[in-house]
């Protein structure tokens, strides 16, 4: 009997833990969050999957386990949707740590070209911790300046990049620069993607000042969508104070889809 099969049989005799996602060899371990799985339990199903995958030459780790949808009644709660554009990048892990510490879910609008072997673990972690992932085009092109075919490629390549890493089919997108027109409306409608704008622009790309970013973000009202970027160190520096302030005001942190409910592909949204 092959060594892998013997190991699997012995471990299965000892009992089977619940299915959860654990880091593959070489991946940075992620600190467990109390809402997302039980740490310290052996996952025999995951071992079986990886042994089978290595035997048939399947590359990469298992797709992340995604929490079931939750319902938050934003008519009863003070909801705010924090959104982060242009990643994943070097600061994304720190942003995820801070959100987890505040039991906060957010929406990340990703650039397809940024989803690489170096950043895929951030994307998998977004999915496993209940954050929403949105399409922000492949390379931040101004979509109204593209042909329909070019625009479709920007969206489709990013859809595929995220699907390969997470298994998620994105339902929302944010046009770079907020630039849109009838052609963008038509193509996003065909792609099944709602266009998500914002009610609060922190201008964190322009004013690299944590205090200013915090002040602008904290001005959010119930039902607002807040625009930030997880590629700027100053935004990450502002995030602890921002979350503390919104906590103090009694906000509930939700994803865009949790805030808006069912969305219409092609339609533009700025808040609830």
Q: How far apart are CA 216 and CA 251, in angstroms?
A: 15
Residue 102 to residue 271: CA distance in whole angstroms: 22
Residues 166 and 228 in one domain: yes
7: Cα within 13 Å, side-chain hemisphere: 11
Considering 33, 229, 230, 232, which one is annotated as catalytic? Answer: 229
Q: Are residues 29 and 152 in the same domain?
A: no
> What DSSP line would sit under 17-81, residue for residue?
------PPTTSPP-PPPTTS--TT---HHHHHHHHHHHHTT--SPPPPPPPPP----TTTSEEEE
For residue 106, report the phi and psi dihedrals to the nearest 5 degrees.
-140, 180
How far is CA 254 from its chain centroid? 12
Do residues 101 and 47 share a domain?
no
44 and 141 both lie in a single domain: no
7 occurs within a structural domain: yes
89 close to 116: Cβ distance less than 8 angstroms:
no
User: Which residue among the candidates 33, 43, 85, 230 is catalytic per the annotation?
Assistant: 85
Bridge partners (DSSP) listed for residue 251: 78
Based on the fold, state whether residues 246 and 122 are members of the same structural domain: yes
> pLDDT at position 167, please?
96
Return the pLDDT at 51: 38
Q: Are 166 and 41 in the same domain?
A: no
Are 39 and 168 found together in one domain? no
pLDDT digits (tens, 9 = 90+) for 134-149: 999 999 999 999 999 9
CA distance 190 to 182: 12
Same domain for 28 and 105?
no
Q: What is the pLDDT of residue 196?
A: 98
Provide the domain limits for residue 29: 3-55
Report yes or no on 33 lying in a domain.
yes
Supply the pLDDT for residue 62: 77
As to burial, measured by CB atoms within 10 angstroms (0-12 exposed, 13-18 middle, 19+ buried), residue 58 is: exposed
Res 246: pLDDT = 97
Q: Tell me whether residue 85 is one of the annotated catalytic residues.
A: yes
- Name the pTM for this structure: 0.78
Residues of the chain with pLDDT below 50 are 1-59
Residue whose C-alpha is closest to residue 172's, from 207, 139, 198: 198
Report helix, strand and coil shares of the chain as percent, to nearest 5: 40, 15, 45
Contacts of 254 (CB under 8 A, 6+ apart): 72, 74, 79, 80, 81, 105
Query: 133 and 88, same structural domain?
Result: yes
- Asked if residue 251 belongs to a domain, the reply is yes
70 part of a folded domain: no
142 inside domain:
yes
In the residue annotation, 97 being an active-site residue is answered as no
249 is a domain residue: yes
The verdict on residue 183 lying in a domain is yes
Say if CB 236 and CB 213 are below 8 A apart. no
Nearest to 59 by CA among 197, 184, 165, 213: 165
Are the beta carbons of 138 and 157 closer than 8 angstroms? yes
Residue 201 gets which letter from DSSP?
Answer: E
- Same domain? For 112 and 40 the reply is no
What would the DSSP string read from start to end of 93-128? Answer: HHHHHHHHHTT---EEEE-GGG--TTTHHHHHHHHH
Same-domain status, 108 and 46: no
Tell me, yes or no, whether 232 lies in a domain: yes
Classify residue 225 by its DSSP letter: E
Q: Write down the pLDDT at residue 36.
A: 27
Residue 129, domain CATH: 3.20.20.370
Q: What is the pLDDT of residue 20?
A: 32
Same domain, 123 and 249: yes
Instruction: Please tell me the total count of domains within the chain.
Output: 2
């Amino acid at each position: 009997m092959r060594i892998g099969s013997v190991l699997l049989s012995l471990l299965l005799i000892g009992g089977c833990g619940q299915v959860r996602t654990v880091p593959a060899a070489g991946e940075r371990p992620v600190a467990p969050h109390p809402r997302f799985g039980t740490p310290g339990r052996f996952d025999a199903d995951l071992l079986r999957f990886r042994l089978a995958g290595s035997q048939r030459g399947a590359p990469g780790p298992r797709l992340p386990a995604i929490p079931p949808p939750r319902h938050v009644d934003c008519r009863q709660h003070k909801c705010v949707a924090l959104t982060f554009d242009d990643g994943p990048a070097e600061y994304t892990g720190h942003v995820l740590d801070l959100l987890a510490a505040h039991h906060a879910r957010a929406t990340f609008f990703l650039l397809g070209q940024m989803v690489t072997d170096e950043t895929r673990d951030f994307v998998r972690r977004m999915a496993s911790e209940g954050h929403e992932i949105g399409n922000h085009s492949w390379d931040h092109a101004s979509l109204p300046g593209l042909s329909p075919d070019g625009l479709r490629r920007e969206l489709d390549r990013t859809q595929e990049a995220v699907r390969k890493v997470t298994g998620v089919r994105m339902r929302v997108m944010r046009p770079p620069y907020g630039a849109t027109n009838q052609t963008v409306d038509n193509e996003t409608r065909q792609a099944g993607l709602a266009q998500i704008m914002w009610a609060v622009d922190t201008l964190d790309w322009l004013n690299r000042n944590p205090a200013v970013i915090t002040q602008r973000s904290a001005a959010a009202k119930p039902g607002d969508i807040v625009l930030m970027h997880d590629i700027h160190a100053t935004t990450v520096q502002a995030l602890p104070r921002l979350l503390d302030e919104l906590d103090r005001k009694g906000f509930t942190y939700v994803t865009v889809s949790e805030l808006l409910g069912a969305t219409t592909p092609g339609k533009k949204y700025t808040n609830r």
